[in-house]
């Protein structure tokens, strides 16, 4: 199944490449990079990524939406949000990292769902979806086909969680060991969540 990474300029670098490290090299998944218009997209750290136009995306795949500074602008771009909604609705699974959940929340697809986001931008994320049940303490949240994670490195934990849910806990543990990553397996407890 395709992992369809939807990118935009100024996306947060690790939001993308953390999950790519988890899914990359697994025979069950093929990682692909897209943007609304195709071409070279730059992360916030100026990493260039060659993307294809979303018109060529197989919408039956897994949508991965990173966060980053640009989410604050894109959330108010009706064309972007409308096109994102169409892609997310048709995707088999939808995974967001960091403030990427704010973009999906803005489409209203998370209305009535539980979700989380970066703890440093949590109030902003909440403002994008008033009818979302935002879970502050969670490292990542699973609600039906939507997986949303907290900030940046939490995308790795969520991706390993997704892997465990699809292919089994042992496959996820093996992958975590291979990338020498200490997996935070408790999705309900983000160590970066300050007690409210």
CA dihedral 25, 60, 44, 135 (to 10 degrees): -100
**What CATH number has the domain spanning 2-178?**
3.40.50.880
| Strand spans (E) along the chain | 2-6, 30-35, 39-42, 48-53, 62-65, 93-96, 114-115, 133-134, 140-143, 146-149
pLDDT at residue 195 greater than cutoff 70 = no
Among 63, 50, 58, residue whose Cα is nearest residue 23: 63
pLDDT on residue 194: 83
pLDDT single digits (tens) 144-169: 999 999 999 999 999 999 999 999 99
Domain boundaries, the chain: 2-178
d(CA 174, CA 65): 25
Model pLDDT, residue 196:
53
Convert the pLDDT of each residue in 69-98 to its tens digit: 999 999 999 999 999 999 999 999 999 999
Give the residue among 165, 153, 164 at the shortest CA–CA distance from 21: 153
pTM of the model: 0.97
| Structure token pair of residue 34 | 């897209």
């Amino acid at each position: 199944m395709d992992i369809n990474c939807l990118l935009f300029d100024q996306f947060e670098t690790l939001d993308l490449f953390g999950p790519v490290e988890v899914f990359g090299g697994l025979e069950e998944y093929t990682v692909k990079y897209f943007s609304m218009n195709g071409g070279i997209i730059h992360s916030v750290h100026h990493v260039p990524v060659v993307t294809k136009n979303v018109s060529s995306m197989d919408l039956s795949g897994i949508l991965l939406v990173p966060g980053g500074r640009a989410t604050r602008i894109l959330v108010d771009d009706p064309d972007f949000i409308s096109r994102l909604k169409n892609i997310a609705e048709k995707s088999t699974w939808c995974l967001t990292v960091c403030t990427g959940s704010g973009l999906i929340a803005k489409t209203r697809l998370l209305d009535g769902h539980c979700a989380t986001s970066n703890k440093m931008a949590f109030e902003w994320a909440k403002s994008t979806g008033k009818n979302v049940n935002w879970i502050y303490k969670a490292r990542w949240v699973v609600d039906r086909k939507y997986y949303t994670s907290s900030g940046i490195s939490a995308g790795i934990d969520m991706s390993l969680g997704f892997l465990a849910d699809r292919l089994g806990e042992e496959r996820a543990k093996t992958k975590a060991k291979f990338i020498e990553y200490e997996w935070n397996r408790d999705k309900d407890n983000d160590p970066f969540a300050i007690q409210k």
